[in-house]
Copies of this chain bind each other. A is one copy, B any other.
Amino acid sequence: MKLLEERIQKDGVVKKGNVLKVDSFINHQMDVDLFNAMGEEFKRLFADHPIDKILTIEASGIGIACIVAQHFHVPVVFAKKSQSINLDGESYVTKVESFTHKRVYDVIVSKKYLNEGEHILIIDDFLANGCAVNGLIDLIQNAGALVEGVGIAIEKGFQVGGQLLREKGIRVESLAIVESMNDETGEIFFRAQEHQS
């Protein structure tokens, strides 16, 4: 998606260790107009998929997922990252490793909000090693629901998450796929995606 790639070129900051900071418009301060353009593009890309619900994971996926959901006219469910006393007993639980925070945490969804046979679109801000997305897929499969696809804002194409998901036959649409970055020059190179706007 050219609009997102251009914004990453303009406002993204490349840091050592293959870190791409987009916290001025994606995951700390959030540009809701940009999220709306992303929602329109996801709707176009997944137009041939029946979508009953959007699933994301706290925290930075929630804003994008809610704006995107307006284009699909479906509710959003966000998976929680640790047991909360406000959750009822009956939950689907899986474990996810966070490279950002260097720890393993439980990811939880109430059984009431993922149902057998539902068609689910996963939305998240980043895809790198795929740990979070694989955790969400695990929850969906535990519920007997169906993974219709995965919609990502920014994929790190040089990490394995996206490739492994696509090899499993899962439809993954990342609106910007970073092929490489240079923290000395600040350059960011994207994978060409002719089917996207």
A interface residues, Cβ below 8 angstroms from B: 19, 21, 23-25, 27-33, 35-36, 58-59, 62-63, 65-67, 69-70, 73, 75-78, 80, 84-88, 100-102, 109-110, 112-113
Contacts and interface: CB of A to CB of B under 8 A. Distances in A.
Given A24-B113, A100-B85, A113-B24, A32 B80 contact: no
Contacts of A21: 86, 88
27 contacts: A19-B86, A23-B87, A23-B110, A23-B113, A24-B112, A24-B113, A28-B77, A28-B87, A29-B76, A29-B77, A29-B110, A29-B112, A29-B113, A30-B75, A32-B66, A32-B75, A32-B76, A35-B66, A58-B58, A59-B59, A63-B63, A63-B65, A63-B66, A63-B78, A66-B67, A67-B70, A84-B100
Identical chains in the assembly? 2
A87 B62 CA distance: 19
Give the secondary structure class of A's interface: mixed
Contacts of A88: 21
B110 A86 contact: no
Contacts of A67: 66-67, 70
